Structure 1
């Protein structure tokens, strides 16, 4: 898991080349815990925010500000990070 935004101790957003990924940390006594990917969003920030609400992710006010500054689409986010667009 490679998060770019930690929402809280148990919630994070990561990404691969095709989408944002919502992660939740699950505690396991034997393994010490593990991050579980819950949703994959390759479209818009609105869908990302809806999925966070549906999963009841814990998000503090400072993190909400960071979410608000995300571009409107995943592709715009990738381009702002200097990554090339994926050929269709």
Structure 2
């Protein structure tokens, strides 16, 4: 199969993750990236769109602050949630 070069900008964090992975597993960056792209494209083709979770979620500052506040002071779990977590059927 003929090979073609592509170019992409990635974050420094992503670059470091790729470099650590290929070093730890003794593989080439190009092979890892091609396998990852093929895997991702196959998932996009075969899975319903609502099951694909984006790797990053972008929200407005106001929304972020609301979510952050909820994590600092979480609400008490409902009876239905407690039953679900206990493995019981919800009523």
Greater strand share, structure number: 1
Larger Rg: 1 or 2?
A: 2
Higher relative contact order (CA 8 A, sep 6+): 1
Greater helix share, structure number: 2
- Give the TM-score range, shorter chain: under 0.3
TM-score where L is the length of structure 2: 0.23
